[in-house]
Structure 1
């Protein structure tokens, strides 16, 4: 495998769909408000979000390789990193350079929107950059911060940042959608930490799977799932979300099934991997259906 391919793999392209979906939620809310955003601004927001997601993945891959975590982790299709750097160690500097390069492009796009929108963009943009830079090295040492940081990044920062960048309003619909994203993305990162718990413990990480154990983490996964759907239902009942948003409840039975199966799968790697894959599908489908519901 060439170093260039290793860099591409380290960006984890298979998982980069999450950022466009979260931006899509912001764009859908803007359309729902009756203010179709400018095409150029919309494209720049999508590109910026995609690059930010790639940057955090690349930094995560580089720092996990340097710390030695990649060498003791049992990788699964949904956890443990891409494995690119253990296979091609010489690509490490290029991965770091790619991370810094993509982050620089994100900052340039952010500066354009800062010029366009002012202080609100500065606050959300600075928060996003801070999360990208500090996640692997520092945030993973703080249990509660590690739990919610990914959700904050893909929820309030990305969804609300999209709305600010597009000149839309931060109304009740926007807040509700960002909270749903926060809860579901936090759940995604939490469940994906379960297979890596022993390796993470050895290098000093202190996320909630390490501090509470896998059984408690599985219960928390269920609670986050439930909370996301509760916020969704409340948003529909209060009128903060349009009625067609009910489409996104189509994934609720699958989430309930996963929550019931997860405790019994903690010591069964093959079953756990199946649940991890199902969880990704549930999350992506829920966000996609919410975008459809907001757009109808």
Structure 2
């Protein structure tokens, strides 16, 4: 049920945070052990959230045409897996994640701030698809997912690298990426809009006309530019990293033109992967030269 490509992307997004924290706020780089442990504590939470989404999207995934970037893992139909397995996997990995967070904070292996971030990620991740008011079913899933994957996950990586007091303004380093993830969510929910609407999952793509969705997409691109400027002015975003992000941003105007004009979210997914790559390379370069 877990999609390897998504798990790999999580590794790189986490790494962005670690590299950003190392380049900006630390004197000495964190040990490989501490970075690995930090991701190891996060992984069960990430899997739990993923399994919860697989469970909740069971009907949608059966109705939609699955692509590499949308439509779920397809494990239920392809492998004849009982839907309840996703429910049990959600609970089991969630409990494991809770235990690891508690032990990590109590023993000092994971800082208190990092533990709070992980708990927030877990709660917002589950709220995306399950609970009394599932956000993805009520037009708030795109914002929730952008906050989780674009801002909180790399911020958690930064907190692991800093291993101490985390400047609140450091969150500004990742808001531009959160805007990019928001655009990506708009694109990946578009192919599933009919199946989502049929089962009562009211994403933005099911509620808004294509013209409004395009305007929202362009707003996300504009958000990247404005929040990058804000992060430079108020935060600690190095100009070198900002240039790397802004160099990719014009491609989002191209992908915005493709959005709703074709079913495949590939143009946006491709640009977002370039966005991730530019950040990894930029932050890694700064870590090396400093």
Report Cα offsets for 1:7-58 as digits up to 9, x if no partner. xxx2111122232222212212321212422432211122233443333222
Alignment of 1:114-263 (within 5 A): 114-115=105-106, 116=108, 119-137=112-130, 138-143=134-139, 145-166=140-161, 167-171=163-167, 174-236=170-232, 240-245=236-241, 246-263=243-260
Alignment correspondent of 1:61: 54
Alignment of 1:68-147 (within 5 A): 68-115=59-106, 116=108, 119-137=112-130, 138-143=134-139, 145-147=140-142
In 2, Cα distance between the equivalents of 1:214 and 1:112?
48
Deviation at 1:283, TM superposition (A): 3.8
In 2, Cα distance between the equivalents of 1:279 and 1:231?
18
Cα distance change on mapping 1:95 and 1:231 into 2, 3 Å: same
What TM-score do the two structures reach when normalised by structure 1? 0.82
In proportion to residue count, which structure has more helix?
Answer: 1
Cα distance change on mapping 1:108 and 1:163 into 2, 3 Å: farther
Gaps of 5+ in 2: none
What TM-score do the two structures reach when normalised by structure 2? 0.83
**In the alignment, structure 1 residue 282 sits paired with structure 2 residue 282:** no
| Secondary structure, aligned partner of 2:259 | helix
Alignment correspondent of 1:6: none
* Aligned alpha-carbon RMSD (Å): 2.6
| Secondary structure, aligned partner of 1:204 | coil
**In the alignment, structure 1 residue 49 sits paired with structure 2 residue 42:** yes
Gaps of 5+ in 1: 1-9
C-alpha contact (below 8 Å) 2:245/2:275 kept by paired residues:
no
C-alpha contact (below 8 Å) 2:181/2:272 kept by paired residues:
no
| Secondary structure, aligned partner of 1:90 | coil
